[in-house]
Copies of this chain bind each other. A is one copy, B any other.
Protein backbone atom coordinates (compact mmCIF):
# COMPACT_ATOMS: atom_id res chain seq x y z
CA UNK A 1 0.00 0.00 0.00
CA UNK A 2 2.80 2.45 0.65
CA UNK A 3 4.11 1.46 -2.73
CA UNK A 4 4.05 4.21 -5.26
CA UNK A 5 1.34 4.99 -7.73
CA UNK A 6 3.15 3.39 -10.66
CA UNK A 7 3.45 6.70 -12.50
CA UNK A 8 6.37 9.01 -13.22
CA UNK A 9 4.09 12.06 -13.30
CA UNK A 10 5.50 14.72 -10.96
CA UNK A 11 2.13 15.04 -9.22
CA UNK A 12 2.16 11.32 -8.48
CA UNK A 13 5.77 11.24 -7.31
CA UNK A 14 5.26 14.22 -5.01
CA UNK A 15 2.01 12.76 -3.70
CA UNK A 16 3.73 9.54 -2.66
CA UNK A 17 5.47 11.67 -0.07
CA UNK A 18 3.07 14.51 0.63
CA UNK A 19 -0.37 12.89 0.43
CA UNK A 20 0.24 10.60 3.36
CA UNK A 21 -1.75 11.01 6.51
CA UNK A 22 -0.42 13.83 8.77
CA UNK A 23 2.22 14.82 6.25
CA UNK A 24 0.80 18.21 5.25
CA UNK A 25 0.55 19.15 8.91
CA UNK A 26 4.12 18.12 9.62
CA UNK A 27 5.29 20.19 6.67
CA UNK A 28 3.13 23.10 7.80
CA UNK A 29 4.78 23.07 11.22
CA UNK A 30 8.24 23.04 9.69
CA UNK A 31 7.28 25.88 7.35
CA UNK A 32 6.07 28.10 10.19
CA UNK A 33 9.41 27.63 11.89
CA UNK A 34 9.13 24.69 14.26
CA UNK A 35 12.44 22.86 14.57
CA UNK A 36 12.31 20.69 17.70
CA UNK A 37 10.46 17.39 17.92
CA UNK A 38 8.20 18.46 20.74
CA UNK A 39 7.64 21.83 19.17
CA UNK A 40 6.30 20.14 16.06
CA UNK A 41 4.23 17.89 18.28
CA UNK A 42 2.57 20.80 20.03
CA UNK A 43 1.35 22.00 16.67
CA UNK A 44 -0.08 18.54 15.92
CA UNK A 45 -1.35 17.33 19.30
CA UNK A 46 -3.13 14.24 18.00
CA UNK A 47 -0.21 12.66 16.14
CA UNK A 48 1.52 9.75 17.86
CA UNK A 49 5.20 10.39 18.52
CA UNK A 50 6.16 7.19 16.74
CA UNK A 51 4.30 8.25 13.63
CA UNK A 52 5.74 11.75 13.78
CA UNK A 53 9.21 10.28 13.92
CA UNK A 54 8.38 8.08 10.96
CA UNK A 55 7.17 11.05 8.92
CA UNK A 56 10.22 13.11 9.80
CA UNK A 57 12.44 10.24 8.71
CA UNK A 58 10.60 10.04 5.41
CA UNK A 59 11.07 13.76 4.88
CA UNK A 60 14.75 13.43 5.68
CA UNK A 61 15.16 10.57 3.22
CA UNK A 62 13.35 12.63 0.59
CA UNK A 63 15.81 15.47 1.08
CA UNK A 64 13.24 17.86 2.50
CA UNK A 65 14.90 18.35 5.86
CA UNK A 66 18.09 17.70 7.72
CA UNK A 67 18.51 16.65 11.31
CA UNK A 68 21.26 18.81 12.71
CA UNK A 69 22.73 19.43 16.16
CA UNK A 70 20.97 22.46 17.61
CA UNK A 71 23.41 25.23 18.39
CA UNK A 72 21.27 27.17 20.87
CA UNK A 73 19.92 24.32 22.95
CA UNK A 74 20.95 20.78 23.55
CA UNK A 75 19.84 17.99 21.28
CA UNK A 76 18.85 18.14 17.65
CA UNK A 77 16.75 20.27 15.42
CA UNK A 78 15.02 19.66 12.13
CA UNK A 79 15.93 22.14 9.41
CA UNK A 80 14.34 22.51 6.02
CA UNK A 81 16.53 22.22 2.95
CA UNK A 82 15.91 24.23 -0.19
CA UNK A 83 13.52 21.50 -1.33
CA UNK A 84 11.73 21.82 1.99
CA UNK A 85 11.46 25.58 1.84
CA UNK A 86 9.82 25.29 -1.55
CA UNK A 87 7.07 23.20 0.05
CA UNK A 88 5.69 26.48 1.39
CA UNK A 89 4.04 26.90 -1.98
CA UNK A 90 2.28 23.55 -1.59
CA UNK A 91 1.13 24.19 1.97
CA UNK A 92 0.06 27.67 0.96
CA UNK A 93 -2.05 26.40 -1.91
CA UNK A 94 -3.70 23.81 0.33
CA UNK A 95 -4.36 26.39 3.03
CA UNK A 96 -5.79 28.92 0.62
CA UNK A 97 -8.12 26.35 -0.84
CA UNK A 98 -9.06 25.15 2.63
CA UNK A 99 -9.84 28.66 3.79
CA UNK A 100 -12.26 29.12 0.90
CA UNK A 101 -13.76 25.68 0.37
CA UNK A 102 -13.03 23.19 3.14
CA UNK A 103 -15.88 21.95 5.31
CA UNK A 104 -17.24 24.01 8.17
CA UNK A 105 -15.70 23.71 11.61
CA UNK A 106 -17.18 20.93 13.72
CA UNK A 107 -17.21 20.89 17.49
CA UNK A 108 -14.53 18.21 17.63
CA UNK A 109 -12.16 20.41 15.65
CA UNK A 110 -12.28 22.97 18.46
CA UNK A 111 -9.15 22.17 20.44
CA UNK A 112 -8.57 25.16 22.73
CA UNK A 113 -4.94 24.22 23.39
CA UNK A 114 -4.21 24.19 19.70
CA UNK A 115 -5.96 27.52 19.25
CA UNK A 116 -3.80 29.16 21.89
CA UNK A 117 -0.68 27.56 20.44
CA UNK A 118 -1.58 28.88 16.98
CA UNK A 119 -2.29 32.34 18.36
CA UNK A 120 0.98 32.54 20.25
CA UNK A 121 2.85 32.36 16.93
CA UNK A 122 0.90 35.28 15.53
CA UNK A 123 1.01 37.98 18.20
CA UNK A 124 2.40 41.40 17.39
CA UNK A 125 4.60 41.94 20.42
CA UNK A 126 5.89 45.16 18.84
CA UNK A 127 2.42 46.63 19.34
CA UNK A 128 2.43 45.77 23.06
CA UNK A 129 3.84 47.96 25.81
CA UNK A 130 7.56 47.51 26.54
CA UNK A 131 8.45 44.78 28.98
CA UNK A 132 6.19 41.87 29.77
CA UNK A 133 2.50 41.60 28.95
CA UNK A 134 0.49 38.73 30.39
CA UNK A 135 -2.81 37.78 28.79
CA UNK A 136 -5.10 35.34 30.59
CA UNK A 137 -7.49 33.42 28.36
CA UNK A 138 -10.60 31.74 29.70
CA UNK A 139 -12.91 29.43 27.74
CA UNK A 140 -15.93 28.83 29.97
CA UNK A 141 -17.24 26.18 27.57
CA UNK A 142 -14.06 24.09 27.56
CA UNK A 143 -13.30 21.05 29.70
CA UNK A 144 -11.80 21.91 33.05
CA UNK A 145 -8.25 20.93 32.08
CA UNK A 146 -8.21 23.23 29.07
CA UNK A 147 -10.24 26.15 30.28
CA UNK A 148 -7.42 28.48 31.30
CA UNK A 149 -4.32 29.59 29.44
CA UNK A 150 -1.80 32.35 29.89
CA UNK A 151 0.22 34.05 27.22
CA UNK A 152 3.39 35.58 28.61
CA UNK A 153 4.51 38.02 25.96
CA UNK A 154 7.89 39.63 25.74
CA UNK A 155 9.43 41.45 22.83
CA UNK A 156 11.21 38.47 21.33
CA UNK A 157 9.22 35.61 22.71
CA UNK A 158 5.76 34.47 23.68
CA UNK A 159 5.27 31.59 26.11
CA UNK A 160 2.10 29.55 26.51
CA UNK A 161 1.35 28.48 30.07
CA UNK A 162 -1.24 25.98 31.20
CA UNK A 163 -0.91 27.12 34.81
CA UNK A 164 -0.79 30.60 36.28
CA UNK A 165 2.67 31.90 35.40
CA UNK A 166 3.11 33.73 38.70
CA UNK A 167 2.62 37.16 37.16
CA UNK A 168 -0.70 38.94 37.46
CA UNK A 169 -2.41 39.12 34.06
CA UNK A 170 -2.54 42.54 32.44
CA UNK A 171 -5.53 41.52 30.38
CA UNK A 172 -8.17 38.83 30.88
CA UNK A 173 -10.02 37.57 27.82
CA UNK A 174 -13.13 35.44 28.16
CA UNK A 175 -14.93 33.85 25.22
CA UNK A 176 -16.02 30.54 23.76
CA UNK A 177 -13.59 28.37 21.83
CA UNK A 178 -15.71 28.54 18.70
CA UNK A 179 -16.00 32.29 18.69
CA UNK A 180 -12.28 32.83 19.08
CA UNK A 181 -11.51 30.07 16.56
CA UNK A 182 -13.74 31.67 13.97
CA UNK A 183 -12.22 35.06 14.66
CA UNK A 184 -8.77 33.53 14.21
CA UNK A 185 -9.88 32.02 10.90
CA UNK A 186 -11.18 35.39 9.74
CA UNK A 187 -14.75 34.13 9.62
CA UNK A 188 -16.00 36.73 12.13
CA UNK A 189 -14.67 40.21 12.79
CA UNK A 190 -13.29 40.65 16.29
CA UNK A 191 -14.81 44.11 16.55
CA UNK A 192 -18.35 42.79 16.23
CA UNK A 193 -17.75 40.06 18.79
CA UNK A 194 -16.38 42.60 21.25
CA UNK A 195 -19.36 44.89 20.74
CA UNK A 196 -21.76 41.97 21.06
CA UNK A 197 -20.12 40.82 24.28
CA UNK A 198 -19.20 37.39 22.95
CA UNK A 199 -15.58 38.31 23.63
CA UNK A 200 -15.06 40.01 26.97
CA UNK A 201 -11.81 41.77 27.83
CA UNK A 202 -10.89 42.99 31.32
CA UNK A 203 -7.96 45.20 32.20
CA UNK A 204 -6.58 48.71 31.87
CA UNK A 205 -8.48 50.74 29.30
CA UNK A 206 -5.41 51.48 27.20
CA UNK A 207 -4.62 47.78 26.95
CA UNK A 208 -8.21 46.84 26.18
CA UNK A 209 -8.24 49.29 23.30
CA UNK A 210 -4.89 48.10 21.98
CA UNK A 211 -5.67 44.39 22.26
CA UNK A 212 -7.29 43.95 18.81
CA UNK A 213 -4.10 45.16 17.15
CA UNK A 214 -2.05 42.49 18.90
CA UNK A 215 -3.89 39.65 17.20
CA UNK A 216 -2.51 38.93 13.75
CA UNK A 217 -4.91 36.01 13.19
CA UNK A 218 -4.34 33.12 10.81
CA UNK A 219 -2.23 33.79 7.75
CA UNK A 220 -5.25 32.70 5.69
CA UNK A 221 -7.76 34.92 7.51
CA UNK A 222 -7.71 37.68 4.86
CA UNK A 223 -8.85 35.23 2.18
CA UNK A 224 -12.56 35.52 1.60
CA UNK A 225 -14.65 32.42 2.10
CA UNK A 226 -17.45 32.17 -0.44
CA UNK A 227 -20.98 31.44 0.66
CA UNK A 228 -21.36 27.93 2.06
CA UNK A 229 -22.54 25.46 -0.52
CA UNK A 230 -26.20 24.42 -0.59
Q: State the A residues within 8 Å of B (CB).
A: 1, 4-25, 28, 44-46, 62-64, 81-83, 86-87, 89-103, 105-106, 108-111, 114-115, 118, 181, 185, 218, 220, 226, 229
Contacts and interface: CB of A to CB of B under 8 A. Distances in A.
Nearest to A181: B8
Nearest to A90: B93
Contacts of A24: 11-12, 14-15, 18-19
Nearest to A100: B86
A6 B102 contact: no
A62 B6 contact: no
Nearest to A22: B5
B98 A7 contact: no
Contact of A14 (B86, B97, B105, B110): B97
A9 B218 CA distance: 8
Given A8-B181, A14-B101, 16 more contacts: A1-B21, A5-B44, A6-B46, A6-B111, A7-B25, A8-B115, A9-B28, A10-B94, A10-B102, A11-B25, A15-B24, A19-B20, A63-B229, A83-B101, A86-B100, A89-B97
B45 A8 contact: no
A90 B89 CA distance: 9
A65 B115 CA distance: 31
Q: Which of A8, A44, A109, A218 has the most CB of B within 10 A?
A: A8
Contacts of A15: 24-25, 94, 98
A21 B4 CA distance: 10
